């Protein structure tokens, strides 16, 4: 980001009219509009895909999209501005990224930690939960909000190449960098990851999947994660930490028993057909 | 005298109708497009589509359904059920700029109206030529049809989705 943009923002903050706007926007920073979330998410996904290759095998892509879209219907946010879309990354690393607004990228390596539709559902439900909880947007530095207001005030009519639009685009770029760096390098906080795990259990239970599959997926991940890796080994709490938290919920009070589904064979067959050779 | 009374009664009924119409709640669509369904279910038959920022009139919001409302679209003809999670009370202003920022700030109507992370900003960002959106555009073209969803859910023995907090 241009330090200059932020610097100017601090100066204009003394203007009463702008101050009022800043206050309103700071209050609203937690409620960024779905449209803006959409454009932020597109840019974050584009940045991540700049260094990662897509795996475009049709059956696998179709399957994670229909499974992921189904799971989103059981979440607290079944609809986003541009909808939920899923893409497999052609990589052995154990990784996934949930860009704001519902663009979700999962690696082949992560999908190999699953061995059933239920365990793939666990992976996707966790990523959907990050979108529902807006963890990506929360990674945007607070300083950007002030800069965004100042840029918005100066933007006027947004004509291509105009200084106002360039300033806004600068703030946009910095916000994208904040999120991308968090997703790729530092990771969300441990509390946010565990929160997404808990929400995933809820989504799975609502859908009719046995939430114990989430534990199984983490067990599979534990056996495959390589210490020192630049993937989940770097950005996520250790699988054992997550397994302990999940186990506590699954064995806690008020957890109804999940009966085996008569459609289990159908699920396993379609999982095998789509992702058996992932 | 009787005629006068009848006229007064008729006027009162009409006035009540006007008040009732004026009292009908309006909401705005917060997603790019959302289907209007024949029943309050994500698997319900799709009757039409509403677009971002469309204002709709709420016709029914039954206590039994936390996540669905029956609405009438802006054309006055399209009527059906929409997920409450695709709607908000506040009006959405589509354009951005200093005027909207000030207005949004003073009325609280639109959060971040002038922040303007929109299509113009994306075009400007793309024009720098450093980021390729090809795969993002491709993944957004992947559409799961309502029939595909229904078949996947039914054949897999999954629950009927209610949508939202249950």
Q: Which of A121, A155, A183 is the last residue of a domain?
A: A183
Residues A177 and A192 in one domain: no
Residues A209 and A238 in one domain: yes
Structural domain total, chain A: 2
**pLDDT score of A192 more than 90:** yes
pTM: 0.83
**pLDDT score of A25 more than 90:** no
Residues A76 and A146 in one domain: no
The answer to whether position A173 is within a domain reads yes
Contact list in A for residue B162 (CB cut-off 8 A) is: 74, 206
- Tell me the residue range of the domain where A167 lies: 4-33+137-183
Q: What is the pLDDT of residue A31?
A: 60
pLDDT, tens only, A193-244: 999 999 999 999 999 999 999 999 999 999 999 988 888 988 999 999 999 9
Does the distance separating the beta carbons of A31 and B96 come in below 8 Å?
no
Residues A249 and A146 in one domain: no
Q: Are B59 and B70 contacting, i.e. CB atoms less than 8 angstroms apart? A: yes
The answer to whether position A44 is within a domain reads no
Q: Which residue has the higher pLDDT, A27 or B37?
A: B37
Q: What is the pLDDT of residue B8?
A: 62
Q: Are A275 and A63 contacting, i.e. CB atoms less than 8 angstroms apart? A: yes
Residues A145 and A111 in one domain: no
CA B56-B86-A33 angle, to 5 degrees, is 105
Can you tell me the ipTM of this complex? 0.85
pLDDT, tens only, A44-70: 999 999 999 999 899 999 999 999 999
Residues A162 and A264 in one domain: no
Strands B79-83, A54-55: pairing kind: unpaired
Choice among A80-89, A200-209, A224-233, A266-275 with the minimum mean pLDDT: A224-233
Contact list in A for residue B116 (CB cut-off 8 A) is: 36, 151-152, 155, 158, 168
DSSP state letter for B98: H
Residues A202 and A112 in one domain: yes
Does the distance separating the beta carbons of A158 and B34 come in below 8 Å?
no
The answer to whether position A42 is within a domain reads no
To the nearest whole number, what is the mean pLDDT of chain A?
A: 85
Residues A85 and A120 in one domain: yes
Q: What is the pLDDT of residue A98?
A: 97
Residues in chain B predicted with pLDDT less than 50, given as ranges, are 16-20, 96-115, 165-166
Residues making up chain B, counted from first to last: 166
Does the distance separating the beta carbons of B32 and A73 come in below 8 Å?
no
Q: How many CB atoms lie within 10 A of CB B66?
A: 13
């Amino acid at each position: 980001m241009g330090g200059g943009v932020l610097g100017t923002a601090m100066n204009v903050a003394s203007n009463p009219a702008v101050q009022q706007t800043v206050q309103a926007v700071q209050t609203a920073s937690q409620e960024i509009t779905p449209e803006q979330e959409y454009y932020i998410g597109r840019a974050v996904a584009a940045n991540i895909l700049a260094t990662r290759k897509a795996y475009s095998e049709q059956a696998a892509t179709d399957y994670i999209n229909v499974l992921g879209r189904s799971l989103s219907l059981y979440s607290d946010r079944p609809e986003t501005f541009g909808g939920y879309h899923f893409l497999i990354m052609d990589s052995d690393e154990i990784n996934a990224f949930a860009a704001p607004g519902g663009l979700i990228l999962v690696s082949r390596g992560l999908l190999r930690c699953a061995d059933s539709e239920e365990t793939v559902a666990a992976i996707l439900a966790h990523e959907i939960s990050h979108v529902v909880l807006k963890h990506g947007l929360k990674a945007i530095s607070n300083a950007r909000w002030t800069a965004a207001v100042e840029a918005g005030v100066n933007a006027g009519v947004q004509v291509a190449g105009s200084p106002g639009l360039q300033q806004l685009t600068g703030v946009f770029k910095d916000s994208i960098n904040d999120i991308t760096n968090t997703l790729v390098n530092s990771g969300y906080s441990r509390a946010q990851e565990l929160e997404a795990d808990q929400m995933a259990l809820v989504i799975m239970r609502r859908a009719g999947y046995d939430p114990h599959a989430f534990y199984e997926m983490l067990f599979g991940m534990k056996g495959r994660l390589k210490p020192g890796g630049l993937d989940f080994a770097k950005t996520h709490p250790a699988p054992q930490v997550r397994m302990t938290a999940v186990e506590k919920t699954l064995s806690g009070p008020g957890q109804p028993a999940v009966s085996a589904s008569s459609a289990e064979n159908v699920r396993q067959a379609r999982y095998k057909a789509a992702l058996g050779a992932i | 005298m009787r005629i006068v009374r009848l006229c007064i009664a008729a006027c009162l009924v009409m006035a009540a109708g006007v008040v009732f119409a004026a009292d009908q709640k309006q909401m705005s669509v917060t997603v790019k497009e959302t289907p209007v369904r024949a029943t309050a279910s994500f698997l319900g038959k799709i009757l039409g589509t509403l677009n971002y920022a469309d204002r709709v009139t709420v016709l029914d919001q039954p206590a039994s359904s936390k996540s669905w409302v029956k609405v009438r679209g802006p054309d006055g003809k399209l009527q059906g059920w929409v997920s409450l999670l695709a709607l908000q009370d506040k009006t959405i202003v589509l354009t951005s700029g200093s005027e909207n920022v000030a207005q949004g700030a003073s009325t609280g109507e639109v959060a971040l109206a002038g922040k303007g992370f929109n299509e113009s900003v994306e075009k400007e960002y793309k024009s720098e030529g450093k980021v390729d959106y090809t795969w993002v555009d491709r993944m957004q073209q992947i559409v799961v049809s309502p029939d595909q969803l229904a078949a996947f859910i039914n054949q897999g023995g999954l629950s009927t989705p209610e949508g939202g907090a249950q």
